[in-house]
Amino acid sequence: MRLNAWLARAGVASRRGADELIKAGRVTVNGEPGQLNTFVGASDDVRLDGRLLAKQQLAHVLLHKPAGVVTTARDPQGRPTVVDLVQHDARVVPVGRLDADTTGVLLLTNDGDLAHRLAHPRYEIDKVYEVECRTRPSEADLRRLRDGVELDDGPTRPARVRRLAGNRIEVVIHEGRNRQVRRMLEAVGNRVEHLHRSGYGPLALGGLEPGAWRELETAEVERLRSMTRDSPGRARGRGRAGYGPG
């Protein structure tokens, strides 16, 4: 495992923060200064400022994100964060983002490799949203959403869309652009009044109350891993598309 990933999993810092610690000469591996390209094995001695570090166990947490909470580890404006809600022994960080006003399923983990794969559009992880619109979308609006709409950062990929009761629809996307669902509705002349993510891949909230969290079961983690495991056809058939927050 690369040293910055090892430090992140040890709960020392994010990967970017770990890079700064390494460049500052504060990290040693088996008594030698660590480098950005240093790889760490299971038996290696890793120290920060002379203090021996132990790698944390992998942790995977499902949070029912409430409204008014930001999806980050810390907020310069002092708003509550999802990391504040998850009082876990391991240092877990969110996979992708939800707007402060958006509620629902959010995964937090210290499993950097899995988080990276889940965020990449090549694996087409379903993100299921229940959308309450300002006005009732027309059938033409739904067709446009299904076909893909033009946004300022390019066209969206086709979405799965179905009508729910009243002004509500369900939208399933694989991309994770900033405020994507809200912008998609604006592109068809509507506006989101409330946005709730009801599913992320195989994960659903069940009876989890807003603000509550639980550890993922082993079978759920294995399901996420299997969904992001490269097959020969997938590896040959897809390029490295850009990706952003969910």
Q: Please write the tens of the pLDDT for every residue from 60-69.
A: 999 999 999 9
Comparing 104-118, 153-167, 215-229, the range with the smallest average pLDDT is 104-118
Confidence (pLDDT) at 244: 36
Exactly one of 99, 111, 126, 152 is catalytic; which is it?
99
Instruction: Please report whether residue 237 resides in a domain.
Output: no
Confidence (pLDDT) at 224: 96
Here the CATH number for the domain that contains residue 81 is 3.30.70.580
Domain count of the fold of the chain: 3
Over 50: is that where the pLDDT of 237 sits? no
Asked whether residue 88 falls in the same domain as residue 190, the answer is no
Distance of alpha carbon 149 from alpha carbon 146, whole angstroms = 8
Distance of alpha carbon 120 from alpha carbon 230, whole angstroms = 12
Instruction: Please report whether residue 244 resides in a domain.
Output: no
Comparing 109-118, 123-132, 175-184, the range with the smallest average pLDDT is 109-118
Yes or no: say if 198 and 156 are a contact pair by the CB < 8 Å rule: no
Instruction: Please report whether residue 241 resides in a domain.
Output: no
Those residues with Cβ within 8 angstroms of residue 93's Cβ, 6 or more apart along the chain or in another chain: 14, 73, 83, 108, 109, 110, 115
Asked whether residue 117 falls in the same domain as residue 10, the answer is no
Instruction: Please report whether residue 235 resides in a domain.
Output: no
pLDDT (average), residues 44-61: 91
Here the CATH number for the domain that contains residue 188 is 3.30.70.1560
- 212: containing domain: 60-121+203-229
Active site residue 99: yes
* Predicted structure pTM score: 0.78
Q: What is the 3-state secondary structure (H, E, C) of the chain?
A: CEHHHHHHHCCCCCHHHHHHHHHCCCEEECCEECCCCCECCCCCCEEECCEECCCCCCCEEEEEECCCCECCCCCCCCCCEHHHHCCCCCCCEECCCCCCCCEEEEEEECCHHHHHHHHCHHHCCCEEEEEEECCCCCHHHHHHHHHCCEECCEECCCCEEEECCCCEEEEEECCCCCCHHHHHHHHCCCCEEEEEEEEECCEECCCCCCCCEEECCHHHHHHHHHHCCCCHHHHHHCCCCCCCCC
Distance of alpha carbon 183 from alpha carbon 192, whole angstroms = 9
Rg (CA), the chain: 20
Asked whether residue 175 falls in the same domain as residue 215, the answer is no
Yes or no: say if 195 and 182 are a contact pair by the CB < 8 Å rule: yes
For the record, the structure tokens of 226 come out as 């299997």
Over 90: is that where the pLDDT of 134 sits? yes
Instruction: Please report whether residue 221 resides in a domain.
Output: yes
Yes or no: say if 102 and 194 are a contact pair by the CB < 8 Å rule: no
Here the CATH number for the domain that contains residue 46 is 3.10.290.10
Distance of alpha carbon 100 from alpha carbon 82, whole angstroms = 10
Of 200, 218, 240, the position where a domain reaches its end is 200
Those residues with Cβ within 8 angstroms of residue 230's Cβ, 6 or more apart along the chain or in another chain: none
Yes or no: say if 48 and 18 are a contact pair by the CB < 8 Å rule: no
Asked whether residue 64 falls in the same domain as residue 105, the answer is yes
